[in-house]
Structure 1
């Protein structure tokens, strides 16, 4: 069993359990690099994020595969930015492995991890990754093989710590059991799909494991693909961005009630729905740093304001929508 120690949190940063990584309480999602932001725009938004005192970036070897079919652009842009800014030592860098191969579909075999980590390091123009995620579980590779490979690349200095994203609760538990039994590295963080409107799977299946294994939690889709910003309130709004089609299923009684609640709390605090939605996440147990992206100054301001917004019990009760 992993040794228990509470997450050490201040208003802006916290230390990930069982590591020496101190990260900002907002984790910038690099999926926009090379997609909705070109290289110049990506550099500008990354500069603004770090100048505001934040240091935590999340990307993946496959981002943005939906643009070029292969991915890699996000890592390449982030790597070039760090090299030009000479700030690698000030950045906590997370990326992922588990893209699809002919052998496995999603692949976390030894062969694929060893190849992928070197390719990521080359694109990122660095010799180490702070936090390396199992992005997708192939459900085929023995968990021991994956963890033994992680141990190999940790010993080689290529990776500092490992984390898990889209892994079933059963395979996650098996990974910890195998690590305990064989003296292998353990996941220190979990990256689940979790936000104010998408709660059930995380809260029923993964939150107990985060508690059991003392995991820091970095939710993705923290603003439900932008729905929780309040930008989309009718079907006519769906054309406002490239992500609009992905939020149509939220336009129902429950979704609109949540937007009304966000509006109420945001009005009380002279804030925005996005800031309130992220502050709600930050008020939940084990949540360390929601992963979220911005493509302009106003969006970024809303994101980085969240750690400073304290929601009282009245606010949390207003946001507790159960329709």
Structure 2
């Protein structure tokens, strides 16, 4: 495993990481969570991504229990969570980034994760109803209180990120240092175009999600939706139009000869391609069992092999495809 700086910060983060979206609390139990976390750690992963809203808080609880069982030194791993959606109904409890919500949200996540401090805290979506200045101050105070170390955004526009950064600069507050956008071969515009100026101007780091485009880039949807797919889970039916996208499936099949020539799986090729972007600090992968983790981590050895010629082959195979869907 190689490690990269999280943007302009000094934090060293593994090129590949593990996320808990959909799987923890929905598809896997605590024993499987322990196995997948341990397999990832054995491969050198030091970053594990979560969010308050995942499985209504159960994902954080499950990860917290698993980490306690594993007994790793706290200095050796990085944990994240994300706030915005909330896990309860009522005013100031969901779809907001106001100071009151954030104050209570961090306390809840710390309790569920059984931690004294969360390394990375993301504002999970922009909040059009709360002044950005209020959110920036609340995130600064969260770090000042020792409850978080770094803060950033997820799926914010470049203009919103710049606004938050400028407010923090003006008031000498802790600045947002990372963004968590979707990034894969079918979803590229934001990372490659919209944020282009932010890497140099602000030192923005990226912890990207969905490298397999909701599983399409594994090739497993070529013959329809298999039994047990995440898109068949209650509440995740909205994924079905994505995983049955004929254009995506056809493009994935055009990648197959390239993966065969390189001696890798389609999944490994897609993950390595994401990590080949020097602006990406870490690629968040998902897995519902230990073997998936082991297979995904093999993408590490593939990254240096994606030279200009191979990348050009991939571009030709994919063609002009981009989607603005998000999760």
Same fold (TM over 0.5): yes
Cα distance in 2 for residues equivalent to 1:165 and 1:211: 19
Cα deviation 1:157-193 (Å, max 9, x = unaligned): 1100001102232221210111111111111111011
Residue 203 of structure 1 is matched in structure 2 by: 192
Residue 237 (structure 1) shift: 3.3
Q: Secondary structure at the match of 2:152?
A: strand
Asked if 1:187 corresponds to 2:176, the answer is yes
Using the TM superposition, give the Cα deviation of residue 305 of structure 1 relative to its aligned residue in structure 2, in angstroms: 1.2
Residue in structure 1 matched with residue 121 of structure 2 by the alignment: 132
Q: Distance in 2 between matches of 1:256 and 1:280?
A: 17
Deviation at 1:197, TM superposition (A): 1.2
Residues 216 and 249, structure 2, Cα contact 8 Å, conserved in 1? no
Is residue 5 of structure 2 the alignment partner of residue 15 of structure 1? Answer: yes
1:317 aligns with 2:312: yes
**Which of residues 41, 58, 74 is equivalent to 1:50?**
41
Which runs of structure 2 are paired with 1:217-256 in the superposition (5 Å)? 217-234=206-223, 236-239=224-227, 241-243=229-231, 246-249=239-242, 251-252=244-245, 254-256=247-249
Instruction: Report the Cα distance in structure 1 between the residues aligned to 2:203 and 2:140, rounded to whole angstroms.
Output: 20
Q: CA deviation at 1:247?
A: 4.8
Range with greater deviation from structure 2 (115-124 or 85-94): 85-94
Q: Pick one of 28, 32, 38 that aligns with 1:41.
A: 32
Structure 1: tracts of 5 or more residues without a match: 1-10, 65-70
Question: What are the residue-to-residue correspondences of 1:29-108 with 2, within 5 Å?
Answer: 29-31=19-21, 32-64=23-55, 71-87=56-72, 88-100=74-86, 102-103=90-91, 105-108=94-97
**1:190–1:210: 8 Å Cα contact kept in structure 2?**
no
Q: Which 10-residue stretch deviates more, 181-190 or 255-264?
A: 255-264
2:296 aligned with 1:308, yes or no?
no
1:298 paired to 2:284: no
Q: Is the 8 A contact 2:136 2:168 kept in 1?
A: yes
| 1:275 aligns to 2:268 (yes or no) | yes
Aligned Cα root-mean-square deviation (Å): 1.9
CA distance in 1, matches of 2:254, 2:3: 28
**Could you say what secondary structure the match of 1:218 adopts?**
strand
User: What SS does the aligned partner of 1:40 have?
Assistant: helix
Deviations 1:282-316 (A, max 9, x none): 11130111111011233212321112212122211
- Residue 240 (structure 1) shift: 5.0
Distance in 1 (alpha carbons) for counterparts of 2:301 and 2:181: 23
Q: Are the counterparts in 2 of residues 129 and 159 from structure 1 also a CA contact under 8 Å?
A: yes
The TM-score, its normalising length taken from structure 1, stands at: 0.88
**Following the alignment from structure 1 to structure 2, what is the Cα–Cα distance between the partners of residues 204 and 137?**
19
Among candidates 112, 115, 128, match of residue 101 of structure 2: 112
**Which secondary structure state, in structure 2, belongs to the residue aligned with residue 288 of structure 1?**
strand
Structure 2 residues not aligned, in runs of 5+: 321-327
Q: Please state how far the C-alpha of 1:251 moved relative to its aligned partner.
A: 4.2
